Amino acid sequence: MLTLPTMSQVIAWFGWGHGVGALAGISAILTVVVIVAPVIAGLLLYGLERAQVELIGQVNRDFAYFFVNFVTFPGTFVHEMAHLCFGVITGAEVNEICMFESGHGQLGHISYCARGPWFMRAVQHALIGVAPTVVGFTLGYFLLRYIFSGGHSVLEYIGLWYLVISLIDHSTMSDSDLEGYFQGVWIFIVPLFLLFFGLGYLG
């Protein structure tokens, strides 16, 4: 079971003491970590996807791209549905969602219009952009836990690993996802800093 450290444990790990300055520094570092973590996670998944292409490409390059782009289609479905769900939850106006788009350099896309006050538009851009990586990592984590719990048949193992690979291939953030994320993620900087500072001060 994955457990996150408490703020007190994090402060102790840094070893900077419990002064206001030390707490502010630790809070600033944690804020940056939270903001860049999805990007790093996306890059990690992209690296795994490219390694997969290179591995399969040793046999047949065309099949490698066919496998990553089409055989693992469930990952595309999760990717676009993550955008859709986060868009609806945050109040954005979703104009179009497409699961398969041949000939445009991508498998699917979603078109939305941010609406509401300026801060809500920023929230929408950030959360809609990061949605595929957050959802993909979350589903992948629970799938792996279920896989390693054991007791599955061979066919079940094949199916489960197929889903994991599909998530790996399509949970990355596209260029437009990254653009949207960085367009709005700044809105979370101060709230995250105050959250970490408050947890450290009270803890």
The DSSP result for 41-79, as a single string, is: HHHHHHHHHHHHHHHHHTT-HHHHHHIIIIITHHHHHHH
What is the pLDDT averaged over residues 78-84?
A: 94
Residue 2 placed within a domain: no
Q: What is the pLDDT of residue 9?
A: 82
**Which tens digits make up the pLDDT trace of 116-137?**
999 999 999 999 999 999 999 8
The maximal CA–CA distance of the chain, rounded, in angstroms, is 59
Please provide residue 113's backbone torsions phi and psi, each rounded to the nearest 5 degrees.
-125, 120
6-28 as b/e, with b when 16 or more CB fall inside 10 Å?
ebeebbeeeeeeeeeeebeebbe
**Which tens digits make up the pLDDT trace of 44-65?**
888 888 888 888 888 888 888 8
Number of domains in the chain: 1
Residue 1 placed within a domain: no
**Which tens digits make up the pLDDT trace of 93-116?**
999 888 876 555 557 788 999 999
Q: Which residues constitute the domain of residue 51?
A: 7-202
Residues 6+ apart with CB under 8 A from 97: 80, 83, 84, 108, 109, 110, 111
